[in-house]
Amino acid sequence: MTNVQNKTTPILVIGGGPSGLAAALTLAQNGVPVRIIDKVTSFHQASRGSGLQPRTMEVFRFLGVLDDARLHARKRVQMRSYKLPGGVEPQRTWWMHEHFERTPDRPEHPQAMSQYKTEGIFRDHLAKRGVHVELGTEPISMEQDVDGVTVTVKKVASDGSETTETIRAAYVVGADGARGFTRRAIGATYEGQTKEEDGQVWADAEVEGVDSDYWHVWPQPGKFTIGIRPKGEEGKFHVGVIGQNFDPVDLVDEKKLVDFIHENTGRKDLVFKNFTSLTYWKPKMRMVNKFYEGRVFIVGDAAHVHSPSGGQGLNTSVQDSLNLCWKLALAHKGLASPILLPSYQAERLPVVTHMLIATSNLYTHLVPKKSEDVQAANANMDKNGFLQWRDLSLRMYEVNYRWSPVVFDARGTLGFDEDEMRARAYEGYPGGDVRAGDCAPDAPALLDVGGNETALFSIFKPYHHTLLVFTTEGGADVDAVVRAAQEYPEGTVRTVVIGRDGVPPTVAGAVAYHDKEGHAHRAYHVSDGPLAIFVVRPDGYVGGFAQDLEGLQSYFSRVFGRA
C-alpha cells in the first residue's frame, strides 16, 4: 500500500455512531485533519449499546473521555425475575456477570451507560478540537486511486433542499453500519446468520410501578423474555421484548407494546409514558470477509453485527477504531511501514471471529427453554444460564494480537504457531506473562524525582508509543535505548525509565519513575536480570518486548519501515 504524505487532505469518517466518533477523536488527537459525516438529520436518543466493558473504560481513559463518562455511567444492577402468574413475587435475584474485583493493573469496573450519552460525550470532545458531525450528509459515490479517495455526498439542508459536494480524502473510515454505503462500496460481504424466526422490540420510556434497583424480567419459557432495565435517570427505563421462536414485530406500537406487557406479566399496575424511542430488529450474527480495500476501511457495525448477549458490540466497535486510527495517523503523515495499515485486518478479523462465536453461544440463554431453567442457575452460579454470562473473555482483557505481523517479542511465541495464536485471539492466555500483542496493564504509585505520583494509564496516549525501560542499575544500556528512541520521528515515542529501588538517574530525553510499590514490575512480570523493554502502542497494547537495541529496532521497523 502506497502512503503519500499529504498533511492537508482530511481523513473522512462516514458514520457518527460510537465507532465513527472514536475514530474521529483518535485522528484529531493525532493532529490529523478529519471530517465526520452522517446521513441522519438529528442525533438519536435510544439506549442501545449500554454495556461498557472494563477494557473499553480503559480505552476511554486513553482517549481522555473517562472522567465525563463516569459522570453519567452507573454500576450494573442485579437481575430479578418474577413468578407467573401474578408477576409481583420475586423468583430469583442474581448478577448477569460474575463478580469483578478491581486490581492495580486492571483498575476499571464494568459500567452501564446509554449509547446516546456515550456519543454525546465523544461529540463534546470533538467539538473542543473544532470537529463536528455533519448531519444530513450521505455518500452516493466513491472512487479511489493511489493518492486518495474521491467521495461524492448528498447534503440535505434543514429546509429539505439538497446539494452535492465532492470530498477529496486521504483515507476513508466507514462506520456507517451494516446497511451502510461503505461496506458495499469496497465489496465486503457479510457472512453469518440472521435469526429470521426471532425478533426484538426495545423502547425508552418512563415507567411507574418498578424501582431502579434491579433489571426486572418476566420470562415466558420457550417464547420470550420481557425486561425493564433502569437507565440511571429517575423514572426512566429501557423496555424490551426478546423473542426466540417468537417474533414481536407487531409490537412496534406504544399501545400494543404496553398491552402485551400488561397481559404477559400480570402487572397492569405498571404505567408507561413519554416514549422517546421504539425500535424493532432481528438478531444478526455476521461479519465481513474483509475489513478494507485500498484506502477505505470499515469499523464497527459496518464490519460485524452481534447478538446483544455478552455486551460486546459497542465495545468491539470502539476498539476497532482505536486499533485502526493510530495507524492511519502515521500513514497520513507519511511515517508508516507498508505492513502497518494491513495489520488492522490481520489483527481485528480473528478477534471478531471468535468474539462472535462466544456471543452467539450466549444468545441461546436470552430466553429460558423451560420453567426449570429460570431457577437452574441458582445451583450453578459458575456456568452460563438464563441471562447469566460466565465468560471472563467478555471483559475483553484477553483480546490479543500475538500473531500480528507488526508485533515483536524477543522471547519467541512459546511454541505456538500463527493459527494456534489466532485461535486464542479472544480468550487469550489468562495468568501468563505479558507478551507482545497483549493488553498493557496499568501500574499506579509511580513517583518522579519531585515526589509526584502517576500511573501508566495516565502516561499512555493514542498519539505516541510509550517505551517502558525497566532497570535495576541504569547505565550505558539505558542511555543507548533512550538515544535510539529519539531517532524515531518527533513526537511518536515517549520513553519512561522505571526503577525498582528508587528513581533511576535522569537521562536526557526520558522521564524516570520509582516503582514505589512494585506494581509495574509485578504487572509486567519483570524480575532482576537483563534490561527489559516493553513498547506500548498508542492503542494500549504491547507492541514489542526486547532486551537490547536490536530487538527494539526489530519492532519499530515494522511500524515505521526502518530500523
Beta carbons within 8 Å of 80's beta carbon, 6+ residues apart: 90, 92, 93, 214, 215, 216, 217
Residue 85: cis peptide before it, omega within 30 degrees of 0? yes
Q: Are 339 and 46 in contact (CB under 8 A)?
A: no
Tell the CATH superfamily of the 11-75+110-192+285-363 domain. Answer: FAD/NAD(P)-binding domain (3.50.50.60)
What pLDDT sits at residue 3? 37
What pLDDT sits at residue 503? 93
Give me the residue label for grid cell 509495574: 520
What pLDDT sits at residue 442? 98
Rg, the chain, Cα only: 25
Which amino acid belongs to residue 392? L
What pLDDT sits at residue 561? 86
- Of 75, 84, 25, nearest to 50 by C-alpha is 75
What pLDDT sits at residue 2? 36
* pTM for this predicted structure: 0.95
- Residue 499: is it exposed, middle or buried by C-beta count within 10 angstroms (0-12/13-18/19+)? buried
**Annotated domain spans of the chain:** 11-75+110-192+285-363, 78-106+196-282+367-397, 408-560
Instruction: Please tell me whether residue 102 adopts helix, strand or coil conformation.
Output: coil
Which amino acid belongs to residue 512? A
- Of 386, 391, 382, 383, nearest to 359 by C-alpha is 391
- Residue 373: is it exposed, middle or buried by C-beta count within 10 angstroms (0-12/13-18/19+)? middle
Say how far residue 342 (Cα) sits from the centre of its chain: 19
Helix (H) or strand (E) holding 483: helix 476-486
In this structure, what is the dihedral angle of CA atoms 442, 447, 452, 457, given to the nearest 10 degrees? -10
**d(C-alpha 250, C-alpha 280), whole Å:** 9
What pLDDT sits at residue 308? 85
**What fold, for 408-560?**
Glutaredoxin (3.40.30)
Instruction: Please tell me whether residue 59 adopts helix, strand or coil conformation.
Output: helix
Q: Are 550 and 484 in contact (CB under 8 A)?
A: no
- Residue 72: is it exposed, middle or buried by C-beta count within 10 angstroms (0-12/13-18/19+)? middle
**d(C-alpha 230, C-alpha 291), whole Å:** 36
What pLDDT sits at residue 48? 80
- pLDDT tens track of the chain, all 563 residues? 333 344 579 999 999 999 999 999 999 999 999 999 999 999 988 888 789 999 999 999 999 999 999 999 998 999 999 999 999 999 999 999 988 889 999 999 899 999 999 999 999 999 999 999 999 999 999 999 999 999 999 999 988 899 999 999 999 999 999 999 999 999 999 999 999 999 999 999 999 999 999 999 999 999 999 999 999 889 999 999 999 999 999 999 999 999 999 999 999 999 999 999 999 999 999 999 999 999 999 999 999 998 888 889 999 999 999 999 999 999 999 999 999 999 999 999 999 999 999 999 999 999 998 876 776 555 567 789 999 999 889 999 999 999 999 999 999 999 999 999 999 999 999 989 999 999 999 999 999 999 999 999 999 999 999 999 998 665 568 999 999 999 999 999 999 999 999 999 888 999 999 999 999 999 999 987 778 999 999 999 999 999 999 999 999 999 998 65
Which amino acid belongs to residue 45? Q
Count of Cβ atoms closer than 10 Å to residue 367 Cβ = 22
Beta carbons within 8 Å of 122's beta carbon, 6+ residues apart: 18, 21, 22, 24, 25, 65
Architecture of domain 78-106+196-282+367-397: 2-Layer Sandwich (3.30)
